[in-house]
Amino acid sequence: MKLQKILSRLQKLHPKEIDLSLNRVQNLCNKLGNPQNFIKCITVVGTNGKYSTIQALRAILKEANIKCNVYTSPHIQKINERFIYDNEEISDDDLAKLLIHVEKINNGEAITYFEILTAAYFCWAKKFRDNINIIESGLFHRFDATNIINKNLASIITSIGLDHLDWLPKNEQTLEKIIFEKTSKLCNSNIIVARQSSKETLNLIKKNIYNNKSNKIIFNENYSYSFNENDFIYYEDQFGSLKLPQPNVLGSFQIENISTAIATIRSLNLEVNDENIKKGITEIQSIARLQEIKKGKLKDLCKNNKIYIDGSHNPLGAKVLNEYLKNLNCKKHIILGMMANKDHEKYISYFKNISSLTTIDIPNQPNAIKGKDLKKKLSKFQNIKFKNSIIEAITSCPISENDIILITGSLYLAGEVLNLN
C-alpha cells in the first residue's frame, strides 16, 4: 500500500500523461547530480521488437556474467519490472525509498509520471556504475525522457512502423515523420539497425542517420541470419559465423530480435564468447510476447488446448504475429482487447483463417475501447462476438481438439490476463 500511495502522488504532478519535452526531466536530473552521465548504456528505439531485443541482450550478457540494469515501459504486472538492477527487479522497499527521495528533490514541480520514473531509474543506476544499462526509449525518442544521455555504447533501431499516430499533428502522421522522431537524435557511438519491414523504411532510416558519425551495422549488409532445415540458425557478421540452436521463444520474428542483440554484443568487444551466446538465447525471459500460459486458473479452463498471450497492438505487430499463426496446422480462436487510440481495423486485417473472434473490455483501463464498440468496428469479421470478461471469452470459444486460443491486442490486457491467471 505504501508504494501505491507514492505512485498515486507522482501521477498527479502533471495534468497530462504525456507532454513531449525534455526540460522537466533534465531539470530534475540536474538536481539529482545528473546520474545519467555516470552510467554505461545501450539505448533501444523503434516500434516493435524493443522488449524482445532487450531480453535477448540481457540473457546473453547474464550468461557471460556481465551484470545489467534494465529500464523498460510499460510494465506488465507490477511496476518493479521497469527497474532491473544487477539482473534483479528492485524490491518494493527499495523502490519506495528511491521514489520518496526523488519526489522530495523534485519538490512539487510539474513533471509527468514517466519523466519522474525515468529520473528515478537513472538515480539508482548510478549505484551500479560497472553494469551495462539497457534502456528502452518510448514513444518518439527525440523528446522521450530517456533521451538525456550524452553518450552511450550503442543505439539499436528495431523494426519501425506506424503507431502512436495520435501524438502527431494530422499532417505529420507519416512513416517518414516517425522515423525522423526516433532516429534523428541518436548518440554518436554505434548504431545497429534491425531488419525492417520494407526497403522504404530502411532507406528512410539510412537517410536520417547518414550524418551521424556512429559506426553503422545494418541487417543484411553487416550481419544476417538464415534458417537451416535441421532446425539450426546460421548467424553471420564481420567476426565470423555462428551455428545457433533454436531459442526458447516462439516466432521467426524473435530470431530477428536475437540476431540484432548478437550483432550489438559482438560489435562492442565485450567479454562474451560464442558459447555464452548459444546458451543465452535458450534462456530468454519474455513476458507477454507470444507467451504460452502453461498452468494456472485460465489454463485450467482450456484443459488440453494451448492458450497464448501476446501484447502486440499495432499493424506491424499483427503482421509478424500472423506469420507465426499461419504455420500452425490447427484452428485459431482470437480474444481481442485494445486501447482506443489504435488502428483496430488495420490490426485485425492481418489475421487470416481465424475460426472465431471475441472482443472484450480491458479491465482497469479507462483509455481502452469498449469491447462492444470494438465488435461494431470489426463487424465485417465473421464469427465475431463480445463477452463481458476474460473468463467468459475463454469458456465461450468453440474449441475442439488441437485448437489454440490467443489473447492479444494490448500489453495492458496481457498484464490483466497474467494477474487473473
CATH label of the domain that carries residue 387: 3.90.190.20
pLDDT in tens, 55-96: 999 999 999 999 999 999 999 999 999 999 999 999 999 999
Same domain? 230 vs 148: yes
pLDDT in tens, 342-374: 999 999 999 988 999 999 999 999 999 999 999
Q: Which residue, of 211, 245, 280, is where some domain finishes?
A: 280
pLDDT in tens, 198-239: 999 999 999 999 999 999 999 999 999 998 877 889 999 999
- Tell me what percent of the chain is helix, strand and coil, each rounded to the nearest 5: 40, 20, 40
User: What is the average pLDDT across 166-187?
Assistant: 82
Same domain? 308 vs 275: no
Cβ-based neighbour number of residue 243 at 10 Å:
12
Same domain? 269 vs 303: no
Residue 179 and residue 183: Cα distance in Å, rounded? 6
**Parallel, antiparallel or unpaired: strands 132-136 and 68-71:** parallel
Residue 68 and residue 72: Cα distance in Å, rounded? 13
Does a structural domain hold residue 349? yes
Residue 190 and residue 407: Cα distance in Å, rounded? 37
pLDDT value of position 168: 65
pLDDT in tens, 19-33: 888 999 999 999 999
SS3 185: coil
241 sits in which H/E element: strand 240-244
Domain span at residue 275 reads 2-280
**CB burial string 205-226: b at 16+ within 10 A, e below:** beebbeebebebbbbeebbebe
pLDDT value of position 18: 79
Q: Which of 201, 100, 101 is nearest to 159 (CA)?
A: 201
Same domain? 149 vs 272: yes
Does a structural domain hold residue 172? yes
Sequential DSSP letters for 80-137: GGG-EETTEEPPHHHHHHHHHHHHHHHTT----HHHHHHHHHHHHHGGGTTSEEEEEP
C-alpha distance from residue 10 to each of 5, 6, 82, 112, 122 (Å):
9, 6, 16, 8, 17
Residue, of 296 and 162, whose pLDDT is higher: 296
Does a structural domain hold residue 285? no
pLDDT value of position 228: 80
- Among 158-167, 289-298, 345-354, the minimum mean pLDDT is found in 158-167
pLDDT value of position 227: 87
Q: Which residue, of 280, 313, 337, is where some domain finishes?
A: 280
Does a structural domain hold residue 221? yes
pLDDT in tens, 369-421: 999 999 999 998 888 999 999 999 999 999 999 999 999 999 999 999 999 99
pLDDT band at 165, cuts 50/70/90? low
